[in-house]
Amino acid sequence: MSGIDPITLSVLAGRMEQIADEMDATLFRAAFNPIIAEAHDASHGLYHAATGDTLVQGKSGLPIFVGVMAFAVQAVIEKAAAEGDLADGDIFIFNDAHIGGTHLSDMRLVRPYFRDGQLFCYLASVGHWHDVGGAVPGNYNPAATEVFQEAFVLPPVRLARAGQVNQDIIDILLRNTRLPQSAMGDLNGQLGALDLGVKRMDELLDEYGADTVRGALDALGHRAEALMRAELGALPDGRWQAEDFLDNDGITDTPLPIRVALEISGDRMVLDFAGSAPQCAGPVNIALPTTVAAAYVAIKHIFPGLPANAGVMRPIEVRVPEGSILSAEFPAPTGGYTETILRMIDVVFSAFAQAAPDKVVANAYGTINALSIAGRRRDGRPWVMFSFYGGGHGGSPEGDGLNHGNAPISTATIPPMEILEAAYPVMFRQWALRPDSGGAGRHRGGMGAVYEIEVLEEGGAEAFLFGERGRFAPKGIAGGGAAALNRFAYESGDGGWQTPPLASKMRGIRLRQGQAVRLETPGGGGYGPAADRAADRVARDVARGLVTAEEADRAYGPAWREVAP
């Protein structure tokens, strides 16, 4: 470990984190599409020059990118080694999910940072582009059976060579999207963020010197590892198991198990996902980089005080069976990766709750409900409204779950209704909390939401849904109850409402002007037995409209009525 003094180490850690934070902010302010600009579905960081390991990540970026971007940088390192001509000013770009994790909507830019002619580290930017071609606007195709039906696939290529941008690559990118202006704006935002990162790194190394900063980066990795080992060493040794299910793969209506065995021995942990479903036909597969990253996110939730640094994972072994849904091979579709990693986090929480229930929360709502509504305006221009939607978080040892939050794979925000209505020809008839959607418990699960969206465009639109939790509700822990199921419906020609045959996935829903879709999202699971919840808290929930009187009687008994106002 470096002999750098603790004060200097702390200052440098803060400075480098600030660089990543400022890169995040630069893209958020410059991006054209709301998924980046409003929802903050993006991330920036600093990565090790030799291994690609995450050194520093911004606080506003998505946690899932901490792990997967290390794999993305490793892919660039391998390409540069094979070609032997890495230069200052090179910028690599790609979206291949089997190499860099997540899905094809996430465009990755990786730039080597040189100091005095020597490679010092890598800077990287990733952002969710609004549309990257494929069969479905917005790229969440619930019926995809290969990646080519989801989006166009770009392997790692040089967008810039020694500072000279390759316009041919940009032309290919813009030709393979329904929204070229949005793509160009997002690309420029990411390039601007990387330029800023280089500038700030220059300033930092001018002030402290390359050797001191390099020593600080090494020390931060060792410190992260030591903190993780200390946390594990304080827990009981043992082996605990959990399982949960995905509704289906969008092709065949068959549940898909996700299983984990969690083993703690001294200051080490093993997460073994043996027994999980085999690779499937539909787009809920995930590649190995995504699986490792999701395991990191689950661990980071359980131990929130740990830094965003690859050293955290050194004492943890992630075992993933070959040929499984968690180690899918190209060209298996991966567009719905969000649903699978959310189930991974759920089973890790459920297993860990058996070892240390005071450190985990009950299952959150467990689906981003990727809903895309697309059509053409009167002048023929295409429009694509893609967004994700919130739900309830699980109850915890400290209190009730969060109402209408975002998924625990991210720190993203849900795009505001006003932004979506201003940008697209839609109107939200309803955007409200969903009563009775949280699981009962000593600490109740948070409430899900109800969204009802009407199409205003004269030519109508087509809708596509990629969701989960339509068949298997979010679980409670420590005796808490399950939350409500996910529900989706759309208006039919006769004025009635229809639901998808596969419950949570459907494409090609034709909507005329004035017709709508409706999402009713799950809440979070409950924590602790419902019998332990104080009667006055139940009465307060009923008074606030979060729980109906009928559900309060069923879940908690009639005692609350004695203290009701």
Which segment, 47-56, 129-138, 185-194, is predicted with the most confidence on average?
A: 185-194
Close Cβ partners of 116 (under 8 Å, ≥ 6 residues apart): 210
Q: Which helix (H) or strand (E) holds 259?
A: strand 256-265
The sign of the torsion formed by the CA atoms of 345, 346, 352, 353 equals positive
Q: Which helix (H) or strand (E) holds 453?
A: strand 449-455
% of the chain at pLDDT higher than 90: 86
Q: Is the pLDDT of residue 404 over 50?
A: yes
| Banded model confidence at residue 1, pLDDT cuts 50, 70, 90 | very low
pLDDT for position 387: 87
Task: Read off the pTM.
Answer: 0.93
Environment class of residue 331 by beta-carbon count within 10 Å: exposed (0-12), middle (13-18) or buried (19+)?
A: middle
pLDDT for position 81: 93
CB 501 within 8 A of CB 253: yes
| Banded model confidence at residue 61, pLDDT cuts 50, 70, 90 | confident
As a whole number of angstroms, the distance between CA 219 and CA 222 comes to 5
pLDDT for position 3: 72
Q: Is the pLDDT of residue 495 over 80?
A: no
Number of residues that make up the chain = 565
pLDDT for position 411: 67
3-class SS of residue 249: coil
As a whole number of angstroms, the distance between CA 24 and CA 7 comes to 26
DSSP string, 420-447: HHHHSSEEEEEEEE-TT-SPPSSBPPPP
CB 68 within 8 A of CB 101: yes
pLDDT for position 75: 96
Q: Is the pLDDT of residue 40 over 80?
A: yes
What would the mean pLDDT of 223-247 be, rounded to a whole number? 96
Q: Please state, rounded to an integer, the average pLDDT across all residues of the chain.
A: 94
3-class SS of residue 410: coil
CB 152 within 8 A of CB 133: yes
Q: Is the pLDDT of residue 2 over 60?
A: no
DSSP string, 485-531: PPEEEEE-TTS-EE--TTSSEEEEEEE-TT-EEEEE---PPPBS-GG
CB 225 within 8 A of CB 204: no
Close Cβ partners of 208 (under 8 Å, ≥ 6 residues apart): 8, 12
DSSP string, 170-195: HHHHHHT-S-HHHHHHHHHHHHHHHH
Residue 351 has, within 13 A of its CA and on its CB side, a CA count of 28
What would the mean pLDDT of 167-183 be, rounded to a whole number? 96
pLDDT for position 565: 77
Q: How do 118-128 and 157-161 pair as beta strands?
A: unpaired
Measured CA angle at 500 (ends 469, 147), to 5 deg: 75
Q: Per-residue pLDDT tens for 190-214?
A: 999 999 999 999 999 999 999 999 9
The pair of structure tokens assigned to 119 is: 């490679």
What would the mean pLDDT of 441-467 be, rounded to a whole number? 96
Close Cβ partners of 469 (under 8 Å, ≥ 6 residues apart): 247, 365, 366, 367, 485, 486, 504, 522
Environment class of residue 381 by beta-carbon count within 10 Å: exposed (0-12), middle (13-18) or buried (19+)?
A: exposed
DSSP string, 73-135: HHHHHHHHHHHT---TT-EEEE--HHHHSS-TTEEEEEEEEEETTEEEEEEEEEEE-S---SS
pLDDT for position 484: 98
| Of 283 and 305, the one with more pLDDT | 283
| Burial readout 392-401 (b: 16 or more C-beta within 10 A, e: otherwise) | bbbbbeeebb
CB 522 within 8 A of CB 405: no
Close Cβ partners of 420 (under 8 Å, ≥ 6 residues apart): 34, 385, 387, 426, 428
Q: Is the pLDDT of residue 409 over 90?
A: no
Q: Is the pLDDT of residue 131 over 50?
A: yes
What would the mean pLDDT of 20-34 be, rounded to a whole number? 94
What would the mean pLDDT of 244-272 be, rounded to a whole number? 97
pLDDT for position 231: 95
Q: Is the pLDDT of residue 548 over 60?
A: yes
- Write the single-letter amino acid at 137: P
What would the mean pLDDT of 466-491 be, rounded to a whole number? 97
| Banded model confidence at residue 564, pLDDT cuts 50, 70, 90 | confident
Q: Per-residue pLDDT tens for 118-128?
A: 999 999 999 99
As a whole number of angstroms, the distance between CA 500 and CA 489 comes to 7
The sign of the torsion formed by the CA atoms of 256, 314, 197, 38 equals positive
3-class SS of residue 222: helix
